[in-house]
Each structure stands twice: as structure tokens, then as C-alpha cells.
């Protein structure tokens, strides 16, 4: 089954109605859920960022509810970096001044796992040629 990574900018915005990108993020998350889009891979670091943001802005119950929904949905996969991917992430973080460490982890994972697509609203990812950033609900495996 085709997969694409999901960045915090999409996860948080989709879960938090007051976020300015909520209306852009919701169709992406719904598309993953309905199988109109590839299955979503969420790194544990991305999950942590998203849940921390939800806890701060919407409260603990909202964050727990979102976590439960992600865990129950078979189309979302939470994954962890290997030791080699973590080492690669540190090197990428040192190389790209504009990247957060989580961004570097995403890129390292994508390069190692051979996943080329990332749903993200963060344009900093455009600095890496191997990352094809998608900011709308489009299926890159089924071109129109």
C-alpha cells in the first residue's frame, strides 16, 4: 500500500479548528482516512509535537481523543527512527539551518525508507530535492 509522511503542520491544523490552516489540513486527513490518499506515516516526534500543541491550545482531553483516533485508524502508522536514521537526522539538522530537529528526522526517515512524499505546509522542506511536499489533498500515486 502506498504511503506518505504527515508533518506536524498538517496533523495539528487538522485537529485544531482554530488553526489558520485547518480548512487545508482537514481534506488531507480525511483523504488518508477514506483511502482517497496514501496511508499516512507519522513519526513519533511528529506525534509528540502535535499532541503537545493540542494540549496547550485545546486541552488534554482533545489531545487524548486525537491520539485515540489515530491509534484506532489502520490507515495511519506511527513509526520510530532507527539508530541509523537518528544519526542521519543529526547530520541533516547540522546541515540545514532552517530545519527543526523534527524536520531533520522526517527527511532522514524519508531518505532511508525511500518515501518521497510528505504532506506539509512548511516550505522549508522544499530545500531537499528528495522531498516532494504536498500541501493539498492530492494522491501522488494516482496522477490526474
What the chain holds in terms of domains, given with CATH numbers, is: 3-124 (3.40.50.1010)
pLDDT in tens, 23-51: 999 999 999 999 999 999 999 999 999 99
> 3-class secondary structure for 105-118?
HHHHHHHHHCCCEE
Distance CA 61, CA 77 (A): 22
pLDDT in tens, 82-120: 999 999 999 999 999 999 999 999 999 999 999 999 999
Amino acid at each position: 500500500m502506498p504511503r506518505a509522511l504527515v508533518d506536524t503542520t498538517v496533523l495539528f491544523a487538522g485537529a485544531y479548528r482554530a488553526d489558520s490552516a485547518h480548512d487545508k489540513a482537514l481534506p488531507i486527513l480525511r483523504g488518508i482516512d477514506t483511502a482517497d490518499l496514501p496511508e499516512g506515516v507519522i513519526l513519533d516526534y511528529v506525534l509528540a509535537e502535535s499532541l503537545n500543541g493540542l494540549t496547550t491550545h485545546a486541552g488534554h482531553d482533545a489531545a487524548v481523543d486525537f491520539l485515540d483516533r489515530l491509534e484506532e485508524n489502520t490507515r495511519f502508522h506511527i513509526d520510530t527512527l532507527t539508530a541509523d536514521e537518528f544519526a542521519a537526522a543529526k547530520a541533516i539538522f547540522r546541515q540545514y539551518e532552517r530545519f527543526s530537529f523534527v524536520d531533520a528526522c522526517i527527511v532522514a526517515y524519508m531518505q532511508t525508507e525511500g518515501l518521497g512524499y510528505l504532506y506539509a505546509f512548511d516550505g522549508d522542506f522544499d530545500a531537499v530535492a528528495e522531498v516532494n511536499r504536498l500541501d493539498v489533498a492530492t494522491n501522488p500515486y494516482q496522477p490526474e
